[in-house]
Amino acid sequence: MSFNLDKITRENVKGLSPYSSARDEYVSDGSTMVFLDANENPFENGVNRYPDPQQRGLKAILAEQKVIKEENILLGNGSDEVLDMLFRAFCEPKQDNIITLPPTYGMYKVLSGINLVENREVLLTNDFQPNVEEILKTIDNNTKLLFICSPNNPTGNSFSTKAIEELLNSFNGLVVIDEAYIDFSSKESWVSKLANYPNIIITQTLSKAYGMAGIRLGICIASAEIIAVVNKIKPPYNVNQLTQEKATTRVLDKQAVKNEVSEILAERSKLEEALKTVSFVETIYPTDANFILAKVDDATLRYNQLLKKGIVVRNRTTQPLCANTLRFTVGTPEENNSVINALKELSN
Ligand SMILES: Cc1ncc(COP(=O)(O)O)c(C=O)c1O
């Protein structure tokens, strides 16, 4: 394999220098200074100053926890923003293409539409694994990004390590491994293999296991060279002050996150066991995430029946390979009891 970052970076991005904001040029080291450089309102209210555009404090903690360097991290307004930045840094509109593996997270397709980049879809196999042979056949000289969601949404399973390794080794573009659900998984994160692959990008988020969907904090992890390219197009203040503060407090509270994940996993087992007893549930797919995909007799009928009982699940029946499936997010013990009781009532 010969991965060449310069070759896959968009021409216009190569020549860009990022916008240099007032806070880029002088970042406080904690000593008392008079800040008259950024046209801010000087009266203190906690958020009257621009946030650190490079989020140094938060990155330092994340780098330590993930055993990487700060230069390997870029943060975004949710991982959705990170994914969008990857399109804008690497894909030439109307010329380049990306590969996605449906059924998978819907934003990759939406972003390809927004960015005018062809989305080449290679269906997962019937057991929801990447079809490596077909993917390799679909790649051409204009393929820039390959999106691998593992654990995958909506199927819940992790992809085989061997398949992902083969793709990393054979593809000259960037392999984006979306690890939104990695904290619920028994499999190791690909972050530990960062140094082995020049073309790997890992995305993570505080929206799932960390319980912070509302603050919007996405994490992009890659080589320092890749991160430097994406930094050129990053809006200067994409991660606001309140998000940086909340995220810092939360990532430092590792035990609280661990306890919640353990409880969610125990509840997931409870929900799986209950689903097995429901007459109209035909298949419960293996999951490494905080949700369960189940095949039922008639997904739309069951979805509407649950709605009437005040319970909203996700009907995935229109997704390829997902006919008559419902996706159940694991809730609190009380919420899970409600859905279990509702399913039992409908099961009679
Ligand atoms: C696989 C996957 N990636 C990314 C996201 C979006 O994450 P964020 O909230 O960080 O934008 C989701 C949200 O559902 C997801 O399922």
Q: At what angle do helices 79-90 and 224-231 cross, to 10 degrees?
A: 90
Give residue 180 CA to ligand 1 midpoint distance, Å: 6
CA dihedral sign of residues 27, 29, 30, 31: negative
Atom of ligand 1 nearest to the CA of 81: 11
Rounded Cα distance between 271 and 93, Å, is: 44
Write down the pLDDT at residue 1.
61
Write down the pLDDT at residue 17.
85
Q: Does 29 have pLDDT greater than 90?
A: no
Rounded Cα distance between 177 and 130, Å, is: 13
Average the pLDDT over 42-46 and give the result.
96
Phi-psi region of 96 (alpha: psi -120 to 50; beta: other; left: phi over 0): beta
Digit-coded pLDDT (tens) for 134-147: 999 999 999 999 99
Contact present, 88 and 99 (Cβ < 8 Å): no
Atom of ligand 1 nearest to the CA of 80: 11
Threshold 0.95, pTM exceeds: yes
- Whether 184 lines ligand 1, by a CB cut-off of 6 Å, is no
In the sheet that 291-296 helps form, which strands lie side by side, from edge to edge?
281-284, 291-296, 325-329, 314-315
Out of 75, 205, 212, 319, mutate this one to test ligand 1's pocket (max ligand atoms within 8 Å of CB): namely 205
- Whether 204 lines ligand 1, by a CB cut-off of 6 Å, is no
Rounded Cα distance between 174 and 176, Å, is: 6
Phi-psi region of 55 (alpha: psi -120 to 50; beta: other; left: phi over 0): left
Q: Work out the percent of the chain whose per-residue pLDDT is above 90.
A: 94
Digit-coded pLDDT (tens) for 150-180: 999 999 999 999 999 999 999 999 999 999 9
Give residue 163 CA to ligand 1 midpoint distance, Å: 22
Contact present, 1 and 172 (Cβ < 8 Å): yes
Atom of ligand 1 nearest to the CA of 208: 9
Write down the pLDDT at residue 31.
77
Mean predicted lDDT score pLDDT of the chain:
96
Write down the pLDDT at residue 23.
75
Digit-coded pLDDT (tens) for 295-338: 999 999 999 999 999 999 999 999 999 999 999 999 999 999 99
Give residue 46 CA to ligand 1 midpoint distance, Å: 29
- Whether 81 lines ligand 1, by a CB cut-off of 6 Å, is no
Digit-coded pLDDT (tens) for 215-228: 999 999 999 999 99
Q: Does 33 have pLDDT greater than 90?
A: no
Average the pLDDT over 7-23 and give the result.
89
